[in-house]
C-alpha cells in the first residue's frame, strides 16, 4: 500500500503506514449510506460544509481575533453584502412579477379578444401553444443548463443551511435558469408558484454576492476574503432566503420568520437582526418600484402582481359561534394537506422514474403536463353557466382584458363566467378574487368545487416536472377555493364572509402541507393586511398542523428525503440511546503524522475520499502517541500545491507558514475545489516532508468511544460539526479510534449496521417533534 | 481530611482520599467570581440548571426512550400544561388590567370631581395620599414577602432560561406579590409598566403549573412526574414568558417572537410551535373576556385597558420625502435610548446602595419617589395654558371622568388642559392620546416637550424602587411624547401625521433601549393594528438600534450584569482564543470511586459545594484508572437518603437500583432540594459502600485539556451544559483533569486568573454581536 522509503536515517520517523496509520476498528464495515443525491433530477455527490471554527497557530478563522481595521472591514462588508442582497433580491422579485404579469397578461388579452370574436377554437389553440412554448423553453433551459434549478429549491437551500452541499445549487447558471425558467413556467399557466424559486434565487444571489464575482475575471474584491468560508456563507444565504420570501409575498417580517422557522438549522440573535435588515431593504425597494408602477409605466402590471390581498373589512366580527366552522375548516384542511403531501410524494417517485430515462423524457413530461393544464383551464369553464352581472358590481362587469373578478369568456354581454374568473387568470388574480369581500354571491358552489379539485390535482401533477416551480402559491389558491367551498356549505352556521373563509382555507391547507406556524401566520397576515384575523388564523393553523402531523411529515422534508439529502435532525432517535459511538464508527481510519512524508499524504488523499484526517504526534516527537488535531483535505491539497516541503523531518514552527497567506486556505464556492489529481509532484517532492502542525486544527471536538450515540449527535448537531473525533476510553495503541461524520448519524446507516434495531420497538416508535407516531417514514428510509 | 478507615481487608479498595481523590491541578486557585447575585435587592446564591440529558442504566431521562403509554402521557400533559398556562396567564393579564383601570380610574374620578368643585389642594392631597398608600402597600409586600418580585423580572427570567437559577424567582409567593404589587404600583401613577411583571408572572405560572401544586398537600399529579426536570421546565417557562407579553399587549405573535428573540437561550422548532399555541390560547381568552367587558360589566374598564391603539387611518401615505424625518427620529431615538440605559444603570447603582441599608430605606425610597411623581403629575399641568375645545372634537370635550383626550383639569368650561390629558391619566390612556390620529393641533409643543422630559426622567427614577415595575410602557409613553415633539418640529418637512410620528417615536426609543428588532416590530404592529406602517417601523428600529449599540448594551443585559447573573453569551470573547481549557480550570477537584465508601461521599459533600463529581473506576475493578462518568450532588443525596448501601465493595449491577423509582431522582423546584446536613447516618452506615455506577451519567461531555477555551465555550453553551469534564491529553495519573462550569467561562473569572489579558488589546476590542466597540462594559465587570 505505501511506497517504500529507502533512506535508513529517516526510518525512525517514517511512519509504518501498514501497521499504524490505519488504525483498526472493531468494525471495519464502510459507511454504506448513499453519498449522492438527486438534485434537480441529476445524481450528484454530496459534501458537508465546514462550520467549525478552525483554530491553528497560523490562521485564526474567527473575525473576533483579528485586528481592528480588519474587523471594521469584515463588519462593514457584511452589512454591505446584506444591503446588496436586499437590493438585488428586491429587484429580481419585482422583475419576476413584472415579467409574469406582462407575458401572461398579453396571452390572456389576446385570447380574450379572440373569444370576444367567438373564435373559440383559435383562442384555445393560441392559449395552448403559448403555454406549450413557454414550458418547452423553460424545461429545455432547465434540463440542459442547470438541472439543479428544477423544483422549488427550498429543500436544497434548507439542506444547504443544515450543512449539506450539493454542487451546482448555488451557481450563476442555476440563478439564471431559476429566474428565467420561473417566469416562463408561471406565465405558462402551469399550476406552479414563484415563492419557492424566489427563495432559491435569493439564496443564489446571496451566495454569489458573497463570492464577489469570479476570480477569473478579477472581479473579486479583497475585502471579500473574509467571507470565503462556510459560516459566513451560511449567514448570507439565510438572509437571502428570507429576502426571497419577502420579495415574493411583500412580507418582510414573514420572510424573516420563514427563514428562521423553516430554513435555518442554526440561528443566532445577530443573524436575526441582519436578516431583518435585509428584508427591510427588500420591502423598501419593492415599495419604491411599485410607486413607479402606479404611475402606469409597467405595462400590464397595474393592480395585479406582487400579491397583497387587501381583505380589510371595516368589521371583522366573529363570535364563539363561528369557532366550530373554523375548527372544521382546520381539521379537513389538515387531512387534505397531508394527503397532498402523500400524493405529491407518490407522483414525484413516478416522475423520477420518467426523468431518469433521459432529457427527452423530462421535456416530454413537462410539455404533456402543460397541454393537460391548458385543456383543463380552457375547457372546464364551459361547464359553468353564465351568470348575470350584479347590478351593484364594484368593478367593470364583464371584464374582457387582463384581470378582474368577472371574466366574460364565452358569455353574452352583461354576463360573466364565474369559473373562468378563476381558471382563466393568473394564480395571483384567482387568489385575489377568492379572497375578496362582498362577493358572497359571485361564485356558484359547483364552480368553486370544480376549481378546488382541479387545482388540487394540477398542483400535485405540476410540481415534479423539470421547471422551476414553487408550492406556496398553488397551495394558497387551492386552499382559497377549498375555504370558500366550506364557507358556502357552512353558510347557515357562521356569519363570517366567504372571503375570510377563503383566507382561512388557504391557511389550513398551508398548515396541513408546509407545517409552519408563526411564519405562515405572519405571511398570511401581511398578505391580507388584516391583523384582526389573527386569533382565527392561529386557531386554524394549529388545528390543521396537528391533524396533518398525525399522518406524515412536512412537505419539504419529504422532498429532501426523496432527493437523498443527509439532513441532520435536531433530536436523536430513540434507538440511538441504545448504542454507543463505537457501535457505528466505521473504518478503516487513515491518520497522518505531525510531520508526514509527502508520498504518504498523496497516497492517503488518492486512496480515500475523506475530508478530514487526524494528525498524531508519535515518539520521538512526543513522549507518547498523542492526538494533535485534525487536518482538512482541502488544506492538505493547498500544502501540496504550494510545495512547502522540508528535506528532513524536523519541526519548523511558525516560520514555515510565512509563505502562506490566509487567502490560500479560503474555502471557494462549492464545486471549485482543487483535486489531488491536478497536483503534479516530482519523485523528489515525494520523498520530502511536510510539517502539518501549523495547519492542523489543534482543537477538534472529541467524544469518548463509550459516549451514547444520541448525545454525540446532540454535540454534532448543535455545534455544527463536519468531523467528530472518537477517542478511546482507556490507554490504547492509537489515541484516536475513529471519525464520525454526518453520514454516520443517518438512520439508514445505523439500521444497516444493526439490523436488529429495525425490528425493535424503538424503531417503530419514532416520534416526530409533533409528537405523533410516524408510520409513513419507515417505508421511505431506503429511498 | 478523610475519616480513617480501620478495617484492613477493605484497604485495597478504600480510596486514598488524600492522594488520589483530590486530583491536583496545575493551578489551584479557586474560582473567585461571585456565586451570588442581587435578585430583588437581596443577595442570594446562584445555581446552574441541569439541561444535559442524563443517561444511565437505571433511568433514561429522555421521553423518547420511554414506552408508548408514557410517551402519550408526556405529550398530552405537555400540551395540556401549555393550554393551562395560556388560560391562566390570559386570566391574570385581564384581571391585572381590570384592577388597574378600576383602581386608578376611581382615583382619577374622585380627584376630577374635586377639581370641578375647585377644591384643588384637597384634590392634590387625595391624589398624593392614594398614590402613597398604594406604593406603600406594594413596597411593603415586595420587601417582606418576596423581594425577588421587585423590578421587571425579565432579566431574572432571561437568566433562568440561560441556565441560571436564582432561588425564589419562580415561587408562589413571588407570583402573588408580582400580581398584586404590579397592580398597586401601576395604579399609583408611578411611571412603571405592567409588561415586564406580566412576563415574570407568566414564567411563575408556568413553573408552578409544571410543578403541579405542592407535594405537601398531595396536590401533585402523577403524570406531572415527567416534568420534574430542568429541560421541560425551561420549555414551559419559555411558553409562559411569551404568554406574558401576549397578555400584556394583546400581541400573540409578538409574544412568541419576544420569547425567542430576547428571552430564550435555546430554541427549537417544536418549542416555537408550543409557544405559538400558548399565546393563541391567551389571545382567545382575552378576546372572550373583552367581549364580556364591552357589555359594560367591568366597571371603569370600558375603552381603556389592554392597550390596543387603533391608528388605522384610511391612508397611511408616505413618500421618499418622509424618510429624512424618520431617519432623524431613529438616530435621536437611538441616542436617547442608550442614554436612558446609561442613566438607568447609574440610578440603579445608587438605589442598590440605599436598598442595602435595610428594609425601611427601601420603603422610604419607594414612597419618596411616589410623592415626587405625584407632585410632577399634578403640578406640571398648571404650567400649561387652557386651550379652547375644538369645534369638531370627535369626543366629549372637556372630559371630566376617567379617560379621554381632553381633560378639563383646572380649566374653565369649554376649555381643556392638554398637559393634564397626558399626565393626569393612566399611561395607557396617555399613549392612546398621543397615538391618535387627527389630533395634530390638540397639543401645544411645549406641553409635549414637558411631558416627554418628565416621563423620561420619571421612568428612570421609578424603575429601581422595590415594587414590581416594567420598562416597556414607560419607554413607549416617553417615546410617543418624543415622537410627537419631533413630528411638530419636522412639520414642514414631512406629511406624516403626528400620531404616526408618536408611534415611530415609541419604536425608536424602544429600539434604542431594548434593542430588539423583529419582536418589537411585530408587537408595535399588533398594538397599532396597522401593517402599512411596516417599512417605516423597520427603518426606525434598525437605525435606532444601530445608533444605540455604539454606546452600550441592551437594558436587560445591563440589569442582569448589575444583578450579577452569570449569563453565558453565545459567542466567545477574543481573548478566550488565546487560552486553553487548562488555563482556566481551577481546583482542587474532588473525584469519587465507582464503588465508594459512604463516609467519603459524606465528607466530599460536606466539604465542597460542587454539584457534580467525576466517578472513576480504578484497579482492581478495571485494568486502568478510567473515567466512568459524572454523578450529581442531588443524586448522591438521594442515594444517601435511601440508604442503598452495600456491606462490601462489590458491584451490584442493576438490581441495586430496584429500590429506586425515577421519581426519586426528579428535580424539585428551586430551593426545595435536600441538603446533606439533613441526612442522618449512623456510624455503621458510614462504613458501608455504595455502587455509584447505575446512577452515574456514563456519557458526560468531555474536552481535552489543550482545547481552546473559546471552542469549549461553544460546546458548553450550545449543548447547554452544567458541567464539562476536562480530560488529559496524554497518559496521566488521573483520567480527569478538572470540571468546567458556567463560572469558569465568566470574563471576570478569566481576567482574574490572567490579569495580563486585561491590558492586552483583545480586552479592549470586545465587540458585541452588534458589531460596535463596547466601551462602557469594562467598568462594569467587577460589579
Predicted ipTM?
A: 0.86
User: CB atoms < 10 A from the CB of B76, how many?
Assistant: 12
pLDDT over 60 at A17, yes or no: no
The Cα B162–Cα B148 span in angstroms is 18
Non-local CB neighbours of A680 within 8 Å, separated by 6+ positions: none
C-alpha separations of A353 from A346, A366, A435, B106 in Å: 11, 14, 38, 76
Taking the CA of residue A376 and the nearest CA in chain B, the distance in Å comes to: 38
Range from A559-568, A583-592, B696-705 carrying the lowest mean pLDDT? A583-592
Asked if residues A263 and A241 have their Cβ atoms less than 8 Å apart, the reply is yes
Asked if residues B716 and B743 have their Cβ atoms less than 8 Å apart, the reply is no
Specify whether the backbone of B463 is left (phi greater than 0), alpha (psi in -120 to 50) or beta: alpha
Beta bridge partners of residue B724, listed in sequence order: B740
Backbone angles phi and psi of A464, in degrees to 5: -80, -5
Give, to the nearest 10 degrees, the angle between helix B154-162 and helix B555-563: 80
* Region B131-157 average pLDDT: 93
Using a CB–CB cutoff of 8 Å, tell me whether A422 touches chain B: no
Residue of chain A minimizing CA distance to B525:
A531
Residue of chain A minimizing CA distance to B255:
A518
Residue A309 pLDDT class (50, 70, 90 cuts): low
Residue B412 pLDDT class (50, 70, 90 cuts): confident
The Cα B415–Cα B410 span in angstroms is 9
Residue A653 pLDDT class (50, 70, 90 cuts): low
Count of residues in chain B: 783
Beta bridge partners of residue B739, listed in sequence order: B725
The Cα B568–Cα B566 span in angstroms is 6
Using a CB–CB cutoff of 8 Å, tell me whether B308 touches chain A: no
pLDDT over 60 at A308, yes or no: no
C-alpha separations of B752 from B88, B368, B689, B757 in Å: 46, 40, 40, 9
Beta bridge partners of residue A416, listed in sequence order: A387
To test the contact with chain B by mutation, choose from A81, A701, A716, A717 the residue with the greatest count of B C-beta atoms within 10 A, namely A701
C-alpha separations of A322 from A316, A319, B86, B281 in Å: 12, 6, 21, 16
Q: Identify the residue whose cell numbers are 368553486.
A: A448
**Contact check, Cβ <8 Å, A64/B542:** no
Specify whether the backbone of A306 is left (phi greater than 0), alpha (psi in -120 to 50) or beta: left
* Region B573-598 average pLDDT: 84
Non-local CB neighbours of B76 within 8 Å, separated by 6+ positions: none
Using a CB–CB cutoff of 8 Å, tell me whether B710 touches chain A: yes
- Cβ-Cβ contacts under 8 Å, A263 against chain B: none
Beta bridge partners of residue A740, listed in sequence order: A724
- Cβ-Cβ contacts under 8 Å, A735 against chain B: 730
Cell numbers standing for residue A30:
464502510
pLDDT of residue B398: 77
Using a CB–CB cutoff of 8 Å, tell me whether A257 touches chain B: yes
The pLDDT tens digits of the residues spanning A340-358 come to 999 999 999 999 889 888 8
Q: How far apart are the first and last CA of chain A?
A: 36
C-alpha separations of A496 from A487, A505, A533, A642 in Å: 8, 13, 11, 72
Q: What 3-state class would DSSP assign to B293?
A: helix
Residue A679 pLDDT class (50, 70, 90 cuts): confident
The Cα B73–Cα B79 span in angstroms is 10
- For the whole model, what pTM was predicted? 0.87
Cell numbers standing for residue B197:
411583571
pLDDT of residue B590: 85
The pLDDT tens digits of the residues spanning B656-707 come to 556 776 667 777 665 666 777 778 888 888 888 888 888 888 888 999 888 8
Taking the CA of residue B574 and the nearest CA in chain A, the distance in Å comes to: 5
Residue B617 pLDDT class (50, 70, 90 cuts): confident
Q: HEC profile for B669-729?
A: CCCCCCCHHHCCCCHHHHCCEEECHHHCECCCCEEECCCEHHHHHHHHHHHCCCCEEEECC
Q: What percent of chain B has pLDDT over 90?
A: 30
Comparing A271 with A622, which gets the higher pLDDT?
A271
Using a CB–CB cutoff of 8 Å, tell me whether A58 touches chain B: no
pLDDT of residue A370: 95
Residue B129 pLDDT class (50, 70, 90 cuts): very high
- Cβ-Cβ contacts under 8 Å, B287 against chain A: 535
Asked if residues B351 and B465 have their Cβ atoms less than 8 Å apart, the reply is yes
Residue A185 pLDDT class (50, 70, 90 cuts): very high
Using a CB–CB cutoff of 8 Å, tell me whether B769 touches chain A: yes
Backbone angles phi and psi of A736, in degrees to 5: -140, 135
The pLDDT tens digits of the residues spanning B98-109 come to 898 889 888 988
- Cβ-Cβ contacts under 8 Å, A60 against chain B: 577
pLDDT of residue A63: 56
pLDDT of residue A761: 47
Sign of CA dihedral B8, B13, B16, B19: positive
Using a CB–CB cutoff of 8 Å, tell me whether A703 touches chain B: yes
- Cβ-Cβ contacts under 8 Å, A710 against chain B: 53, 55, 62
Beta bridge partners of residue B580, listed in sequence order: B708
**Nearest beta carbon to residue A272 from set B269, B319, B518:** B518
**Nearest beta carbon to residue B704 from set A252, A572, A702:** A702
**Chain B residues 495-524 with CB within 8 Å of chain A:** 517-518, 521-522
How big is chain A by its Cα radius of gyration, in Å?
A: 29
Q: What 3-state class would DSSP assign to B55?
A: strand
Residue B630 CB burial class (10 angstroms; 0-12, 13-18, ≥19) = buried
pLDDT over 80 at A3, yes or no: no
Nearest to A378 by CA among A433, A425, A434, A429: A425
**Nearest beta carbon to residue B518 from set A276, A535, A623:** A276
Using a CB–CB cutoff of 8 Å, tell me whether A764 touches chain B: no
Residue B400 pLDDT class (50, 70, 90 cuts): low
Strands (E), A175-305: none
* Region A402-427 average pLDDT: 82
The number of helices, as runs of H, and strands, as runs of E, in chain A is 26, 16
Asked if residues B542 and A276 have their Cβ atoms less than 8 Å apart, the reply is yes
C-alpha separations of A744 from A167, A703, A708, A723, B487 in Å: 21, 14, 14, 10, 61
pLDDT of residue A304: 45
Taking the CA of residue A653 and the nearest CA in chain B, the distance in Å comes to: 17
Residue B572 pLDDT class (50, 70, 90 cuts): confident
pLDDT of residue A432: 83
**Chain B residues 725-744 with CB within 8 Å of chain A:** 727, 729-731, 735
**Chain B residues 338-397 with CB within 8 Å of chain A:** none
**Contact check, Cβ <8 Å, A518/B626:** no
pLDDT of residue B733: 78
Range from A246-260, A314-328, A601-615, B711-725 carrying the lowest mean pLDDT? A314-328
Using a CB–CB cutoff of 8 Å, tell me whether B281 touches chain A: no
* Region A1-28 average pLDDT: 39
Residue of chain B minimizing CA distance to A268:
B570
pLDDT of residue B1: 33
Strands (E), A602-701: 612-617, 626-632, 689-691
Using a CB–CB cutoff of 8 Å, tell me whether A256 touches chain B: yes
The Cα B224–Cα B74 span in angstroms is 8
* Region B589-600 average pLDDT: 88
Using a CB–CB cutoff of 8 Å, tell me whether A529 touches chain B: yes
Sequential DSSP letters for A234-292: HHHHHHHHHHHHHHHHT-HHHHHHHIIIII-SS--HHHHHHHHHHHHHHHHHHHHHHHH
pLDDT over 50 at B381, yes or no: yes
Nearest to A189 by CA among A122, A147, A123, A129: A129
Taking the CA of residue B570 and the nearest CA in chain A, the distance in Å comes to: 8
CA A762 to chain centre: 30
Backbone angles phi and psi of B697, in degrees to 5: -70, 105
**Nearest beta carbon to residue A626 from set B79, B279, B729:** B729
Taking the CA of residue A359 and the nearest CA in chain B, the distance in Å comes to: 39
How big is chain B by its Cα radius of gyration, in Å?
A: 29
Q: Which H helix or E strand runs over B459? A: helix B445-463
Q: HEC profile for A376-411?
A: HHHHHHHHCCCEECCCCCCCCCCECCCCCCCECCCC
Q: What 3-state class would DSSP assign to B36?
A: strand
Residue B779 pLDDT class (50, 70, 90 cuts): very low
**Contact check, Cβ <8 Å, A64/B767:** yes
Q: What percent of chain B has pLDDT over 70?
A: 82
The Cα A240–Cα A171 span in angstroms is 14
Nearest to A397 by CA among A420, A423, A428, A431: A420
**Chain B residues 530-589 with CB within 8 Å of chain A:** 531-532, 534-535, 538-539, 542, 545, 570-574, 577
pLDDT of residue A299: 65
**Contact check, Cβ <8 Å, A769/B261:** no
pLDDT of residue A671: 60
Residue of chain B minimizing CA distance to A261:
B269
Q: How many CB pairs under 8 A join A and B?
A: 206
* Region B28-34 average pLDDT: 49
Nearest to B457 by CA among B560, B549, B380: B380
pLDDT of residue B401: 62
Instruction: Output the average pLDDT for chain A.
Output: 81
pLDDT over 80 at A219, yes or no: no
Residue A562 pLDDT class (50, 70, 90 cuts): confident
pLDDT over 90 at A322, yes or no: no
Asked if residues A488 and A448 have their Cβ atoms less than 8 Å apart, the reply is yes
To test the contact with chain A by mutation, choose from B704, B708, B712, B721 the residue with the greatest count of A C-beta atoms within 10 A, namely B704
Nearest to A715 by CA among B225, B702, B393: B702
pLDDT of residue B653: 59
* Region B728-734 average pLDDT: 80
The number of helices, as runs of H, and strands, as runs of E, in chain B is 26, 16
Nearest to B744 by CA among B703, B697, B779, B698: B703
Q: What 3-state class would DSSP assign to B76?
A: helix
User: CB atoms < 10 A from the CB of B687, how many?
Assistant: 17
Asked if residues B74 and B225 have their Cβ atoms less than 8 Å apart, the reply is no
The Cα B184–Cα B186 span in angstroms is 6
Amino acid at each position: 500500500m505505501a511506497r517504500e522509503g529507502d533512506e535508513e536515517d529517516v526510518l525512525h520517523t517514517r511512519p509504518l503506514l501498514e501497521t499504524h496509520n490505519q488504525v483498526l476498528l472493531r468494525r471495519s464495515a464502510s459507511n454504506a449510506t448513499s453519498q449522492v443525491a438527486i438534485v434537480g433530477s441529476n445524481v450528484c455527490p454530496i459534501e458537508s460544509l465546514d462550520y467549525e471554527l478552525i483554530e491553528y497557530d497560523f490562521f485564526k478563522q474567527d473575525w473576533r481575533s483579528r485586528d481592528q481595521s480588519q474587523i471594521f472591514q469584515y463588519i462593514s462588508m457584511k452589512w454591505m453584502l446584506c444591503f446588496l442582497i436586499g437590493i438585488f433580491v428586491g429587484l429580481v422579485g419585482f422583475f419576476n412579477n413584472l415579467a409574469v404579469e406582462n407575458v401572461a397578461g398579453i396571452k390572456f388579452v389576446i385570447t380574450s379578444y379572440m373569444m370576444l370574436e367567438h373564435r373559440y377554437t383559435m383562442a384555445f389553440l393560441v392559449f395552448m401553444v403559448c403555454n406549450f412554448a413557454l414550458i418547452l423553453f423553460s424545461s429545455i433551459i432547465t434540463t440542459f443548463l442547470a438541472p439543479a434549478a428544477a423544483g422549488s429549491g427550498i429543500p436544497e437551500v434548507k439542506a444547504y443551511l443544515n450543512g449539506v452541499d450539493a454542487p451546482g445549487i448555488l451557481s450563476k447558471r442555476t440563478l439564471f435558469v431559476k429566474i428565467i425558467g420561473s417566469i416562463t413556467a408561471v406565465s405558462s399557466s402551469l399550476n406552479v408558484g414563484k415563492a419557492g424559486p424566489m427563495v432559491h434565487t435569493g439564496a443564489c444571489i446571496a451566495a454569489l454576492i458573497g463570492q464577489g464575482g469570479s476570480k477569473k475575471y478579477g472581479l473579486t474584491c479583497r475585502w471579500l476574503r473574509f467571507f470565503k468560508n462556510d459560516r459566513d456563507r451560511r449567514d448570507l444565504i439565510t438572509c437571502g432566503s428570507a429576502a426571497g420570501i419577502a420579495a415574493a409575498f411583500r412580507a418582510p417580517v414573514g420572510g424573516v420568520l420563514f427563514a428562521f422557522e423553516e430554513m435555518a438549522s442554526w440561528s443566532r440573535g445577530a443573524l436575526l437582526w441582519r436578516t431583518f435588515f435585509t428584508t427591510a431593504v427588500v420591502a423598501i425597494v419593492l415599495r419604491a418600484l411599485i410607486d413607479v408602477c402606479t404611475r402606469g409605466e409597467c405595462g400590464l402590471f397595474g393592480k395585479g402582481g406582487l400579491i397583497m390581498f387587501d381583505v380589510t373589512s371595516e368589521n371583522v366580527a366573529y363570535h364563539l359561534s363561528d369557532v366550530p366552522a373554523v375548527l372544521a375548516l382546520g381539521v379537513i384542511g389538515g387531512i387534505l394537506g397531508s394527503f397532498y403531501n402523500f400524493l405529491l410524494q407518490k407522483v414525484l417517485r413516478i416522475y423520477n422514474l420518467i426523468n431518469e430515462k433521459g432529457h427527452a423524457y423530462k421535456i416530454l413530461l413537462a410539455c404533456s403536463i402543460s397541454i393537460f393544464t391548458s385543456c383543463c383551464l380552457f375547457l372546464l369553464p364551459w361547464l359553468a353557466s353564465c351568470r348575470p352581472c350584479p347590478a351593484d358590481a364594484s368593478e367593470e362587469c364583464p371584464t374582457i382584458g387582463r384581470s378582474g373578478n368577472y371574466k366574460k369568456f364565452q358569455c353574452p354581454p352583461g354576463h360573466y363566467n364565474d369559473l373562468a374568473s378563476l381558471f382563466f387568470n393568473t394564480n395571483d388574480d384567482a387568489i385575489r378574487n377568492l379572497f375578496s369581500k362582498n362577493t358572497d354571491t359571485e361564485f356558484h358552489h359547483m364552480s368553486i368545487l370544480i376549481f378546488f379539485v382541479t387545482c388540487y390535482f394540477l398542483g400535485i401533477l405540476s410540481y415534479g416536472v423539470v421547471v422551476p416551480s414553487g408550492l406556496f402559491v398553488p397551495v394558497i389558491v387551492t386552499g382559497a377555493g377549498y375555504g370558500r367551498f366550506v364557507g358556502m356549505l357552512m353558510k347557515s352556521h357562521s356569519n363570517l364572509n366567504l372571503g375570510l373563509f377563503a383566507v382561512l382555507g388557504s391557511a389550513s391547507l398551508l398548515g396541513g402541507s408546509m407545517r409552519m406556524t408563526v411564519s405562515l401566520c405572519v405571511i398570511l397576515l401581511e398578505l391580507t393586511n388584516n391583523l384582526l384575523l389573527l386569533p382565527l388564523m392561529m386557531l386554524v393553523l394549529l388545528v390543521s398542523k396537528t391533524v396533518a402531523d398525525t399522518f406524515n411529515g412536512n412537505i419539504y422534508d419529504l422532498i429532501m428525503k426523496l432527493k437523498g439529502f443527509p439532513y441532520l435532525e435536531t433530536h436523536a432517535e430513540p434507538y440511538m440511546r441504545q448504542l454507543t459511538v463505537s457501535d457505528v464508527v466505521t473504518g478503516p481510519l487513515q491518520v497522518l503524522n505531525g510531520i508526514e512524508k509527502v508520498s504518504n499524504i498523496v497516497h492517503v488523499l488518492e486512496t480515500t475520499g475523506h475530508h478530514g484526517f487526524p494528525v498524531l504526534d508519535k515518539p520521538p516527537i512526543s513522549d507518547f502517541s498523542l492526538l494533535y488535531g485534525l487536518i482538512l483535505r482541502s488544506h492538505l491539497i493547498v500544502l501540496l500545491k504550494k510545495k512547502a516541503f522540508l528535506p528532513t523531518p524536523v519541526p519548523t514552527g511558525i516560520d514555515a507558514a510565512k509563505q502562506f497567506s490566509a487567502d490560500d486556505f479560503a474555502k471557494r464556492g462549492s464545486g471549485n475545489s482543487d483535486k489531488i489529481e491536478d497536483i503534479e509532484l516530482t519523485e523528489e517532492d515525494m520523498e520530502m516532508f511536510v510539517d502539518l502542525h501549523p495547519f492542523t486544527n489543534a482543537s477538534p471536538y472529541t467524544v469518548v468511544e463509550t459516549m451514547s450515540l444520541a448525545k454525540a449527535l446532540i454535540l454534532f448537531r448543535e455545534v455544527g460539526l463536519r468531523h467528530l473525533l472518537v477517542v478511546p476510553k482507556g490507554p490504547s495503541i492509537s489515541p484516536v479510534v475513529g471519525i464520525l461524520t454526518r453520514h454516520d448519524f443517518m438512520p439508514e446507516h445505523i439500521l444497516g449496521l444493526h439490523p436488529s434495531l429495525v425490528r425493535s420497538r424503538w424503531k417503530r416508535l419514532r416520534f416526530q417533534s409533533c409528537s405523533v407516531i410516524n408510520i409513513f417514514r419507515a417505508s421511505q428510509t431506503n429511498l
